[in-house]
Amino acid sequence: MAGCYELKKAKNGEFFFNLLAANGQNILKSEMYSSRAAAENGIASVQSNCTEDGQYECKESSNGKAYFVLKAKNHQVIGQSQMYESDSGCQNGIESCKTNGTSTTIKDLTAD
């Protein structure tokens, strides 16, 4: 079973998505979008950028945990990973994003 996207609506009315691995673990959370169409474009951007090493950037949070961001070709951040205990965990997360990010399965959870 492959991963999938969950399209959601925040309490403030904005839209976002999560990329989930086949085991249901959250790999990537998107930025907030003002419209459903913009969030869907964000998913398409993950699908087209996730296989390219150069679109990922590993970072370190203020508490010392590693995480990554996935960027579009225009260098805008599409999404951010969870926090990892180690750089190797972050690299594993990137590999999971590459594997699952091309999924075309989108679960629409925007209905109230």
The domain containing residue 81 runs over which residues? 4-108
Section 48-77 average pLDDT:
95
Residues 81 and 67 sit within 8 Å (Cβ to Cβ)? yes
Query: How far, in Å, CA of 5 to CA of 20, rounded?
Result: 6
Query: How far, in Å, CA of 11 to CA of 78, rounded?
Result: 20
Confidence (pLDDT) at 111: 79
Residue 1 predicted with pLDDT over 90: no
Number of domains making up the chain:
1
68-80 per-position pLDDT tens digit: 999 999 999 999 9
Confidence (pLDDT) at 35: 96
Confidence (pLDDT) at 112: 55
Give burial (CB, 10 Å; 0-12/13-18/19+) of 15: buried
Section 44-67 average pLDDT:
96
Residue 12 predicted with pLDDT over 60: yes
Residue 3 predicted with pLDDT over 70: yes
Strand, helix or coil for residue 74: coil
| CATH at residue 44 | 2.30.29.80
